[in-house]
A and B are shown apart, each in its own frame.
Chain A
Amino acid sequence: MLVLATCLVLTACASKKVETLGGQIQGDVYTGTDSVEYLADGVKDRVFFATNESILTTASRETLRAQAAWLRKNSSINVVLEGHADERGTREYNLALGERRANAAKDYLMTYGISSDRISVLSYGKERPVDSGSNPLAWSKNRRSVTVKAN
């Protein structure tokens, strides 16, 4: 049991590194690039949300259109939309909220021609923050939907 647990800790530590470029918030939505990674060259992998919201901002829609364009060109690739919430909510409600956010992104990709068969949705609620801070900026980075290649 101990051996297995140790392996997991090591894998966890070796996971992706996050860029630190300094970020900013507009309204209640993160607009920086600090924790953003790329699905493909020039195609951002994530969109951000206001507290308790699942509405896509103008910037989010732009990111998702770029993702849709790339997915249309790469039709063999499927994606998982991982929805997340910040730590300022109850665990169970946040699981539902993460699911709702990922679905907002999914619906938008579908309106731009991506078949629902290629998209699955996975909510992590508040379980997988990218920023471990307890402040409004950290929370804004954690309220997100991340598009991840599934294959």
Chain B
Amino acid sequence: MIRKILLLTIIIILPVRTYALIEVDITRGNLDPLPLAVSPLSIDDKSKKSFEKIINIENIGSEISIIVENNLKTSGLFNPLSKDAFLQAPDIANLKPRFEDWSLIKAQALITGKVSYINEKLRVEFRLWDVLAAKEMMALAFTTVPSNWRRVGHIISDKIYERLTGEKGYFDTRIIYVAEEGPKTQRIKKLAIMDQDGFNNKFLTLGNELVLTPRFNPTSQMVTYLSYFRNLPRVYLLDIETGTQEVVGDFPGMTFAPRFSPNGKKIIMSFAKDGKSDIYTMDLENRVVERITNHPSIDTSPSYSPDGKYICFNSDRSGYQQIYVMKSDGSNLKRISFGKGLYGTPVWSPRGDLIAFTKLHKGKFYIGVMRVDGSGERLLTENFYQEAPSWSPNGRVLIFYRETKTNAKGEGFSAKLWSIDLTGYNERLVETPTDASDPSWSSLLSK
């Protein structure tokens, strides 16, 4: 469970002074992804043999380029071209691309690079080229321990995404979720964590007790979640580096729906007692518990605004589940959802301007977004059952889970993770080794 601490040095090889000629507009739904070529990173024979020995990977240069290619493709904004069409060898392309060759296959951008083994470290350099303008747009080099090779692929993807879209990427991130197995009436659930692209999947609990709704601390490797340990449903804290777990607070009843505050210093959650659920916070440093709402209704699924000044949550105080916003001390409470149907699981966007939610209307479940005053509601996807969106750290993508309808015999149940672009395009299944639910997206691991 102990993760190796990342030793990563980033060196900018050349100061970038070229003005961007390629710009990818991520605000419109992207129907026309940018064609680009990801050349396999070149590698000398000696380095190749060393990596083969240390991490058992035949050609780390092409493996890293595949990570980059898959990430860019998954974003829906880029269309990586087939390597079969490439005319130039990787090592020569990295020195000086023959731009005519690349524009011939309609690539607008080109990524080249070189991998080497130096002083027991993995050194990766890569370059991003504007094919039509025949110019270098960016050149960077990274040095790290060889076992970090997948992360290097993700960091390169983030740099390219940022250079071409003008926004931070989200590839060097992880997803924590609940892995599910077994019949629907007796599901076995475990906490699991994986890289954003589905690799390095690990189970964090054994499945001995029911666990639900894990969420990352935005500033550290801590997770908060609900566990039914000893049949007492309580909010827990888990340090994913050490495996240490502890109960949050000492409440005489069920605590649930936990999330961290944006600075990671507080946990906000619900506490249910006598048929009422109210919102509480606990300060993780001084353990002070504060009550935020006090109403006979169900108040739950709280989420802070990124500046920590406001809280959105859902409440049935109007008679039905709706979304409310209040100041972080509980004052100035107002309802923001007024559309037809029920609204739940509001989550504030990391950019601060939107709230994602689940909506139930006429027997269908929707994932949608609205502005923080409730205006501009936009439904992104409709299904039999889906809920619990979680934002990518750049606020461009939502991950959520979807459950299938069973047949007349009650068979055919499954739960899977899905992602969708904020524009409503690029809906994708996120592959997991088992069934999965309750995904939570981490912050960027390297900032």
Contacts and interface: CB of A to CB of B under 8 A. Distances in A.
Given A90-B345, A95-B212, A134-B405, 20 more contacts: A4-B206, A8-B188, A9-B188, A52-B320, A89-B321, A89-B342, A90-B360, A91-B213, A91-B438, A92-B301, A95-B257, A96-B270, A99-B254, A99-B272, A99-B275, A100-B277, A107-B275, A127-B187, A128-B185, A134-B406
B231 interface: yes
Nearest to A90: B344
A37 interface: no
Chain B interface size range: 35 or more
Interface in A97-151: 97, 99-100, 103-104, 107, 121-123, 127-135, 138
A5 interface: yes
Interface stretch (B11-19, B45-53, B142-150, B382-390): B382-390
Interface of B: 181-188, 203, 206-208, 210, 212-213, 226, 231, 233, 253-254, 256-257, 270, 272, 274-277, 298, 300-301, 314, 316, 320-321, 342, 344-345, 358, 360, 363, 384-385, 387-388, 403, 405-406, 408, 410-411, 413, 437-438
A51 B185 CA distance: 19
Given A9-B188, A132-B410, A90 B275 contact: no
A90 B233 contact: no
6 contacts: A9-B188, A91-B387, A96-B277, A100-B298, A132-B413, A133-B410
A92 B384 CA distance: 18
Contacts of B208: 4, 8
A93 B300 contact: yes
A15 interface: yes
A132 B254 contact: no
B184 A92 contact: no
Interface of A: 1, 4-5, 8-9, 12-13, 15, 52, 54, 87-93, 95-97, 99-100, 103-104, 107, 121-123, 127-135, 138
Contacts of A97: 298
Contacts of A99: 253-254, 272, 275, 277
Contacts of A133: 406, 408, 410
Contact of B274 (A9, A12, A90, A103): A103
B301 A93 contact: yes
Contacts of A13: 183, 186
Contacts of B410: 131-134, 138
Given A54-B275, A95-B233, A133-B410, A90 B387 contact: yes
Nearest to B188: A8
Contacts of A103: 274-275
B188 A5 contact: yes
A127 to B, nearest CB: 6
B388 A90 contact: yes
A114 to B, nearest CB: 16
Contact of A4 (B207, B403, B408): B207
